[in-house]
Structure 1
């Protein structure tokens, strides 16, 4: 059975990570530029929080 291109990309994105973690990181990547356009100061602190979240979940 041949796997679709989209499914192959999803499986290869972050390897064996759980789906909720993949969705969280994709959400961060999508939301952060819009928040930066609205308020760069808040976006900077959000980026720090996202980084800490990513490190904490990587250690889990």
Structure 2
């Protein structure tokens, strides 16, 4: 996979992570703790994937 494509995927993952974080914050503010916790878990997983992908891109 080309470096440019990996970089693009990294940007897409980061955008998705941020959007999920915003939704988690909204659910938390609305008192829907269960949904907020689940969304934060997804956000953390995406952040981990983003760090791994960033390491791959920078190691090339």
2:20, 2:43 within 8 Å by CA — same for their partners in 1? yes
**Comparing both chains, which one has the higher relative contact order based on Cα–Cα distances under 8 Å and sequence gaps of 6 or more?**
2
How many pairs are equivalent?
Answer: 44
Deviation at 1:42, TM superposition (A): 1.3
Moved over 2 A (4+): none
TM-score by length of 2: 0.53
Which structure 2 segments of 5+ residues have no match?
25-38
Partner of 2:43: 43
| Larger helix percent | 2
- Considering only aligned residues, what root-mean-square deviation do their CA atoms show, in Å? 2.1
